[in-house]
């Protein structure tokens, strides 16, 4: 980041009160560390259900700007109170485990859909200026209840810009892939299995997009600073075969194929051919613009946005794979707590942008 960009970022966050729903998770803790260590925010409120995790986080941080609020996004009244005086909300709370959501679909709807609606209502009524919701590649062409609820949540947040009426609250989303090293990711599982000499993979053909926690946090913060309301922001990410990642984490281990779980895909998609018709290349990321006239009127600095080619599809099986050496270096940095992003498909120093261009008949 250039000095001028750092100055603009510092000015944006200075004196602001920020709230993160689901803030005791992997993203929330990394976000809190970056924000509190590098920016002069007035306060950071962590809103979550688990008092033990809040206690552990408060013990680890010891920062007087940090506030811990017990509450559930299903509880609209509690959100109304928690959002008072807040400038920025990052909505990270969700039920995320695919098998658990498949087995408990109503609970997934209550948290991921109705909870999203509650966040929108509370933000508008409390006068929050910016709300960014964190979504997932599983929201694209969903085949499981988790993805379906996150797709619905995306639609709710984008339409929140019309639902707000004359109020000034802005709503946008980020959509990215698997977070390497986060709670529930495959990295802890492979590390645990490594000692046995055998790793389990559901299907050898499987591919995924990968992002590190620091990279995800920096991307979210940058999009909050730049959002005009209505965008779905998609970072350019590295893709990898699961077999390559397994060998990077545990070289020489045998791989047992155990079969795809309910609701699981072979490959993930971040932008479909249909979405690409109203999506743009913005350098290190893509923007999916809403198809509503209120966004056209808003402007949003789209003069620098480049339309995507006909038939563009951003899929993990066609985005250009990270090499085994790149993956092994990344895993080492993640374990050392100092991960930097891999070269991303479409980035100037990474895999070629045309690698993500797949014909619509594919």
User: Exactly one of 138, 150, 236, 265 is catalytic; which is it?
Assistant: 138
Q: How far apart are CA 83 and CA 85, in angstroms?
A: 6
Query: Given the structure tokens 């019309």, which residue do they identify?
Result: 162
| CB environment 146-174: b (16+ within 10 A), e (fewer) | bbbbbbbbbebbbbbbebbeeeebbbbbb
Q: Is 274 helix (H, G, I), strand (E, B) or coil?
A: helix
Output the six-digit token pair for 46. Answer: 């962590």
CA count, 13 A, side-chain hemisphere, 181? 22
Residue 96 designated active-site: no
Show the DSSP H helices in 211-307 as ranges.
213-226, 242-249, 273-276, 293-298
Among candidate residues 322, 307, 316, the one with its CA nearest the CA of residue 358: 316
Among candidate residues 44, 42, 37, the one with its CA nearest the CA of residue 18: 44
Query: Given the structure tokens 């942008």, which residue do they identify?
Result: 353
Residues recorded for the chain: 362
Which residues carry out catalysis?
138
């Amino acid at each position: 980041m250039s000095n001028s960009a750092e100055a603009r970022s510092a000015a944006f966050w200075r004196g602001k009160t920020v709230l993160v729903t689901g803030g005791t998770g992997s993203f929330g803790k990394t976000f809190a560390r970056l924000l509190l260590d590098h920016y002069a925010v007035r306060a950071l409120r962590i809103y979550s259900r688990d008092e033990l995790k809040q206690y552990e986080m408060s013990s680890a941080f010891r920062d007087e700007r940090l506030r811990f609020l017990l509450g559930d996004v299903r509880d609209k009244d509690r959100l109304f109170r928690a959002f008072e005086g807040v400038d920025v909300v990052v909505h990270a709370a969700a039920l995320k485990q695919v098998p658990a959501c498949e087995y408990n679909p109503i609970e997934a709807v209550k948290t991921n859909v109705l909870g999203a609606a509650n966040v929108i209502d509370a933000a508008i009524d409390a006068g929050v200026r910016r709300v960014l919701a964190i979504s997932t590649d599983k929201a694209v062409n969903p085949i499981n209840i988790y993805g379906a609820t996150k797709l619905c949540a995306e639609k709710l947040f984008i339409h929140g810009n019309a639902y707000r009426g004359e109020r000034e609250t802005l709503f946008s989303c980020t959509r990215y892939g698997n977070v390497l090293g986060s709670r529930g990711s495959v990295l802890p599982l492979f590390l645990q299995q490594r000692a046995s000499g055998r790793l389990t993979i559901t299907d050898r053909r499987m591919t995924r997009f990968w992002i590190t926690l620091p990279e995800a946090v920096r991307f979210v913060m940058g999009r909050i600073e730049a959002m005009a309301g209505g965008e779905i922001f998609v970072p350019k990410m590295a893709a990898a075969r699961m077999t390559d990642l397994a060998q990077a984490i545990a070289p020489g281990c045998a791989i047992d194929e155990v079969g795809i779980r309910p609701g699981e895909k072979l490959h993930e998609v971040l932008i479909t051919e249909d979405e690409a018709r109203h999506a743009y290349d913005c350098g290190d990321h893509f923007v999916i613009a809403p198809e509503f006239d209120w966004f056209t009127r808003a402007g949003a600095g789209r003069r620098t946005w480049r339309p995507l080619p006909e038939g563009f599809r951003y899929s993990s099986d066609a985005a250009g794979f990270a090499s085994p050496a790149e993956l092994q270096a990344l895993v080492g940095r993640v374990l050392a707590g100092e991960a930097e992003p891999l070269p991303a498909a479409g980035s100037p120093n990474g895999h070629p942008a045309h690698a993500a261009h797949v014909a619509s008949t594919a």
